[in-house]
Structure 1
Amino acid sequence: MSNRSSAAVAVRGAVTRDEAEHVRDAVGPEISAVGHPVEQARVRLTRYGGRDLPMFVVAQVNVVVADRMVRSQLSAPSAAEAIDGAAAGLRWRLHRLGRRLAAERSGDIGLGPAGWRPVLLPSPVGLLNGRTRPCKLVRSKSCRLAVQDVDAAAFTMELRDYPFHLFSDDATGAESVLYRGGPTGYRLLRTVAGPELSGTAVPLTVHTWPAPVLLPAQAVESLNASPARSFVFFTDPAIGRGRVLYRRYDGDLALLSPAW
């Protein structure tokens, strides 16, 4: 089955007609080649920078296939480079999802260690770290956390092109964060102390100590003091839950919290 409908393009900033057409040329064939119904397809182009900071464009593609959300995004100095990179990431992730759906139909959804690669595609670049003033917390949002094991969390993170994934560990119920890094390619942080995990398909380095206990203002100070870090995972003593403070593309900060 193929999907001939083109992706709708939601534009932010000054994006030309030629750039919008390039989105359709680059992303449209990837969507048309999907062997399952595409329920949603959206592409967003956003320009950042200006004044004394470099300009760059972020292309983000979101599709829903077989009730799975797939996302790919990339930033680059030009819209064409960002679009092409996001389309390449979408192609890989749709292929990965297709393999998973085929395995589900056959009743074999296991994924061995060889099925994981620590860095699948270049991570988005272009975070505006060149500003001299401290970064501010400008947005707070909450989401209902998926209850998952680590392998399922890794699959979600890769399909959605997340730099980190906040989820609820199915064994302990603790808020946990999975992200790329460390000698194995993936690291796991938890709000509670715990041992190394065994039997996971994803190659994993586990922090056996709990996430630090911080107030949001302290987390902002911590991240401002560490320009190379992209996020900080912490337990907020005011609510007793794990939260993530992370850098936005515009250089300021956002706070992600579990929904009650």
Structure 2
Amino acid sequence: MSNRSSAAVAVRGAVTPDEAEHVRDAVGPEISAIGHPVEQARVRLTRYAGRDLPMLVVAQVNVVVADRMVRAQLGAPSAAEAIDGAAAGLRWRLNRLGRRLAAERSGDVGLGHGGWRPVYLPTPAGLLITRNRPRKLVRSKSCRLAVQDPDAAAFTMELRDYPFHLFADDTTGAESLLYRGGPTGYRLLRTVVGPEPAGSTVPLSVRAWPAPVLRVAKAVETLNSAPARSFVFFTDPSTGRGRVLYRRYDGDFALLSPAW
């Protein structure tokens, strides 16, 4: 798909023709403005509803530009609000990628003081609402982890609109998790205790102790007992590998593990 083409729309649930057209009107100009070929572009609208969850529409935009995957998503009560919010998030991320590509061409990709700015996104509706019943694990997935330093991990997390990013620490090789939080804006958790990252420009606080050793059932219990938490990073005792249990938009849990 060229950068002048409309984004294809993959739909979950009922979406009207007007909503599909709104997607093209909101997202198409952002893709065209990047000035680089877009290898892929897709938008997904998903509706969530339940007895204890109000209607929520989640718009997720995924594009691939210069071999980088860029993602933006937002949940809102209406499709129009979700689409507009996701398009605004995509604009910010494409602009940031454009600056990075320009810096790579000039050979100056380092970020000095103030170059990093954590992006605090609206909490998905429903995640912090007290539930009438315990939530359960409904999905498990695995992925090959990129071996990265914290700067690369932060850049990946911001481009992909992730609330956290699971990766392999390039110093220790251990599973590590970066998320927005702590006194500096970014916090690094690891499955092993290791040295402070050297040469990072991202403002980082590093937890001094390793991730807790938990079985999946205990991680589910831990997240159910802490409604304000959105994830639990832990070491699985049967594998010794780091895993993340996190809340989905519908309130139930998903498990992310490193691929073997």
Give the TM-score, by structure 2 length.
Answer: 0.96
Residues 150-186 of structure 1: per-residue CA shift (max 9 Å, x gap): 0000000000000000000001101000000111111
Does the 8 Å CA contact 1:194/1:209 hold for their aligned counterparts? no
Does the 8 Å CA contact 1:195/1:208 hold for their aligned counterparts? no
Does residue 77 of structure 1 match 2:77? yes
Does the 8 Å CA contact 2:141/2:256 hold for their aligned counterparts? yes
Matches within 5 A, 1:218-229: 218-229=218-229
Equivalent residue letter for 1:68: R
Aligned equivalent of 1:138: 138
Aligned equivalent of 2:110: 110
Aligned equivalent of 1:250: 250
C-alpha displacement at 1:109, in angstroms? Answer: 1.0
Residues 3-51 of structure 1: per-residue CA shift (max 9 Å, x gap): 2100000111122111111101000000111211100000001111233
C-alpha displacement at 1:194, in angstroms? Answer: 2.8
Aligned equivalent of 1:147: 147
Residues 49-77 of structure 1: per-residue CA shift (max 9 Å, x gap): 23342111100000000000000001111
Q: Which runs of 5+ in 1 are unaligned?
A: none
Matches within 5 A, 1:61-76: 61-76=61-76
Residues in 1 aligned to 2:183 and 2:209: alpha-carbon distance in whole angstroms: 18
Does residue 126 of structure 1 match 2:125? yes
Does the 8 Å CA contact 2:3/2:38 hold for their aligned counterparts? yes
Aligned equivalent of 2:205: 205
Does the 8 Å CA contact 2:74/2:83 hold for their aligned counterparts? yes
- Identity value in percent: 84
Aligned equivalent of 1:167: 167
Residues in 1 aligned to 2:131 and 2:16: alpha-carbon distance in whole angstroms: 28
C-alpha displacement at 1:198, in angstroms? Answer: 4.4
Residues in 1 aligned to 2:231 and 2:123: alpha-carbon distance in whole angstroms: 14
C-alpha displacement at 1:230, in angstroms? Answer: 0.3
Equivalent residue letter for 2:212: P
Query: Which secondary structure state, in structure 1, belongs to the residue aligned with residue 55 of structure 2?
Result: strand
Equivalent residue letter for 2:15: V
Residues in 2 aligned to 1:252 and 1:17: alpha-carbon distance in whole angstroms: 30
Does the 8 Å CA contact 1:74/1:124 hold for their aligned counterparts? no
Does residue 15 of structure 1 match 2:15? yes
Does the 8 Å CA contact 1:53/1:131 hold for their aligned counterparts? no
Residues in 2 aligned to 1:199 and 1:237: alpha-carbon distance in whole angstroms: 32
Residues in 1 aligned to 2:121 and 2:191: alpha-carbon distance in whole angstroms: 29
Query: Which secondary structure state, in structure 2, belongs to the residue aligned with residue 9 of structure 1?
Result: strand
C-alpha displacement at 1:195, in angstroms? Answer: 4.2
Equivalent residues, number: 258
Residues in 2 aligned to 1:118 and 1:5: alpha-carbon distance in whole angstroms: 31
Q: Which runs of 5+ in 2 are unaligned?
A: none
Does the 8 Å CA contact 2:171/2:197 hold for their aligned counterparts? no
Query: Which secondary structure state, in structure 2, belongs to the residue aligned with residue 21 of structure 1?
Result: helix
Does the 8 Å CA contact 2:53/2:250 hold for their aligned counterparts? no
Give the TM-score, by structure 1 length.
Answer: 0.96
Aligned equivalent of 1:27: 27
What CA RMSD, in Å, does the superposition of the two structures yield over aligned residues?
Answer: 1.3
C-alpha displacement at 1:252, in angstroms? Answer: 0.6
Q: Deviation above 6 Å: which 4+ runs of structure 1?
A: none
Aligned equivalent of 1:99: 99
